[in-house]
Amino acid sequence: MPLIGGFSIGRWFGFPIRIDYSWFFVAALVVWTFTWREFPRVLPDHKQSTYLAMGTVAAALFFISVLLHELGHAVVARARGITVDNITLFIFGGIAQAREEARHPFDEFLLTAAGPLTSLLLAGIFHTARLGAEVVSAPTPVVTVLGFLALLNFVLAVFNMIPGFPLDGGRIFRSIVWAITGNLVQATRWAAWGGRIFGGILIVLGLTALSRGILLGGIWSILIGWFVVNAASTSFRHFQLRQLLGGIRISRVMTANPLCVDAESSLNDAIAQYFMCNRQLAYPVEIGGKIGGIIDIAKVAGVPEHLRDVTQVVEIMDPISKQNSARPDETLADVLGRAETACPCLLVLTNRSVVGLVDLNEIGTWAGRVKKLGLLSISGDKWGDDGPLGRQNLKAVVQPHLEESV
């Protein structure tokens, strides 16, 4: 997904809610569209200040609706034992970022269907509110906004049910094919092709609209089509990568017994005694004989040189968290999501004791190697579990490079 970084705005039902910086562009565009195009068209002869108020309120409630749609996915995922790291609003809507794939077709079906069902429920709520507003003779702008939100949530549900990966409809289609065939890889391939075809249709429709002078609608259709095509291909490759890395345990790729730096050391001492003398990019931080966090070279580099002698390691370290730590029995697939964190390494912990360090760049190294060998092609049948480049055979190629030294 095209996330470019962002910030947290709190938690809903225990899930961190994040705003990606790209969201501000679409938020401004939505407010502008509602204020200067849609509401003046359906409700003429009102003041511009009225349209601005309507557009702002409608946009805010629409984005809350998108969050609730993703929250539907997240709540059901958690109920089915799947960890959701956060819910993020970004330029093309929202995404509940799950740490792992569903384990069974029924789980996939349930957690995916929860999103569109939530949108349909919201559409019903807004429609009922609109009818109630008419009964009590509420101001026309209020009735219009409620009706508009009912329509938007209905369209959101219908659009997401199109059977193309990674849209909800594509994931539901995948779960059905998976249940029938028992082959998750084949099901994902078919769903991904559905997404690419649907995205291509949107691009063609967008180009047609542009040729007829429909500028805004054409551009949006092309952008969404491009996003769906790109997301379908990327999601399938990411899925394949998870399938491969799911057989490689952290204990096989970690640096065992890494050097640790004392929390009270100055940054200059840490640079002289550790960062310039060893290959490690990050170091566990000892506080009173126990590991309290991790410090990496980027953190040190971010401190001005004239302050490094008076700044202690403990002042800039990252405390131990789920995002910067892992267990030896986890796999590289389990920590893929954590590769997006600022720290380039993960602490490998057993009962709060450090037993190793994992360089997340190694995931990229293996991914690059697999890509260079052409093993992640979305076309053809090379990737079947039993095929010549299937997961079992590919593991046989990769695993010899990862054997633990004894």
Between CA 19 and CA 29, with CA 24 as vertex, the angle to 5 degrees is 140
Q: Is the pLDDT of residue 268 over 70?
A: yes
d(CA 47, CA 69): 33
Q: Which pLDDT band holds residue 392 (cuts at 50, 70, 90)?
A: very low
Q: What distance lies between CA 174 and its chain's CA centroid?
A: 19
Tell me the per-residue pLDDT of 223-237, one tens digit each, with 9 for 90 and over. 888 888 888 888 888
pLDDT of residue 259 exceeding 80: yes
261 φ, ψ to 5°? -110, 145
Is this prediction's pTM over 0.85? no
Give 30-80 pLDDT, tens digit per residue: 899 899 988 999 889 889 999 999 999 999 999 999 999 999 999 999 999
Nearest-angstrom CA–CA distance, 40 and 43 = 5
User: Are 119 and 153 contacting, i.e. CB atoms less than 8 angstroms apart?
Assistant: yes
Non-local CB neighbours of 382 within 8 Å, separated by 6+ positions? 375, 388, 389, 390
Long-range contacts of 315-322 (CB under 8 A, 24+ apart): 316/267, 317/263, 317/285, 317/292, 317/293, 318/293, 318/294, 318/342, 318/343, 319/292, 319/293, 320/291, 320/292, 320/293, 320/294, 320/347, 320/349, 320/352
**Structural domains of the chain in order of their starting residue, each with its CATH number:** 6-161 (no CATH), 250-359 (3.10.580.10), 365-402 (no CATH)
